[in-house]
Amino acid sequence: MHTTPETSKVMSASDIERALTRIAHEIVEAHRGVTGLVLLGIPRRGVPLATRLGEKLSRIDPGFDARGAVGSLDITMYRDDLRSGAVRAPEPTQIPDAGIDGTTVVLIDDVLYSGRTIRAALDALSDLGRPRAVRLAVLVDRGHRELPLRADHVGKNIPTSREERVSVQLAEVDGVERDQESVLITRGPAASSQGGVA
């Protein structure tokens, strides 16, 4: 008997917006301002999330340079699953002109799962400079960590099983309208085969 996967929405566009606003305020509070702060999004969906957070930070504190202090960090060649062959083509790494030495870098991703993406990001970061501190902000933490890593800023904790797939739909990456953005959970036999390691 063939079972059809079941999909449910756990965050709407307005939920995502509110979560990012809260994370932006948390970052400012934790850092006690915006001086020496750098945001680096992990492709793919971490990059537009970093851009949006940068815009929110500049509205909270005009001293934050939303263009000069926001970039991207590709971790493709640092992943520990390269041998599996299921790795996408590398995307650009864009680091602020002033570099990251002595800064507080906030790594930004859409979903935190096993922690392997973040470990790869830390390895990639160490080849680029020596930040004073590294923090992690994610839109969704779905649990099931395989490494001793945790996020400093979380939009929403979503308890899941390993057989479920969490997908984030963003305008910049997925082609949906901004007001139709969402976070979805898919349950069923097809979900586990589609789920990525994050």
Count of domains for the chain = 1
In angstroms, rounded to a whole number, what is the distance separating the alpha carbons of residues 90 and 167?
A: 21
Domain assignment of residue 112, yes or no: yes
Least Cα distance to 109 among 142, 64, 132 occurs for 142
**For residue 68, what pLDDT is reported?**
95
> Which CATH number goes with the domain that contains 156?
3.40.50.2020
The number of C-alpha atoms within 13 Å of 75 and in the hemisphere containing its C-beta is 26
Tokens found for residue 196:
């990525």
Domain assignment of residue 152, yes or no: yes
Domain assignment of residue 131, yes or no: yes
Structural domain containing residue 32:
13-160
Domain assignment of residue 192, yes or no: no
Domain assignment of residue 191, yes or no: no
In angstroms, rounded to a whole number, what is the distance separating the alpha carbons of residues 76 and 53?
A: 23
Domain assignment of residue 193, yes or no: no
Domain assignment of residue 186, yes or no: no
Domain assignment of residue 8, yes or no: no
**HEC profile for the chain?**
CCCCCEEEEEECHHHHHHHHHHHHHHHHHHHCCCCCEEEEECCCCHHHHHHHHHHHHHHHCCCCCCCCCEEECCCHHHCCCHHHCCCCCCCCCECCCCCCCCCEEEEEEEEECCCHHHHHHHHHHHCCCCCCEEEEEEEEECCCCCCCCCCCEEEEECCCCCCCEEEEECHHHHCCCHHHCEEEEEECHHHHHHCCCC
Distance of CA 132 to the CA centre of its chain: 20
Distance of CA 6 to the CA centre of its chain: 25
In tens digits, the chain (198 residues) has pLDDT values of: 556 789 999 999 999 999 999 999 999 999 999 999 999 999 999 999 999 999 999 999 999 999 999 999 999 999 876 665 555 678 889 999 999 999 999 999 999 999 999 999 999 999 999 999 999 999 999 999 999 999 999 999 999 999 999 999 999 999 999 999 999 999 976 554 344 445
Cis omega (within 30 of 0) on the bond before 44?
Answer: yes
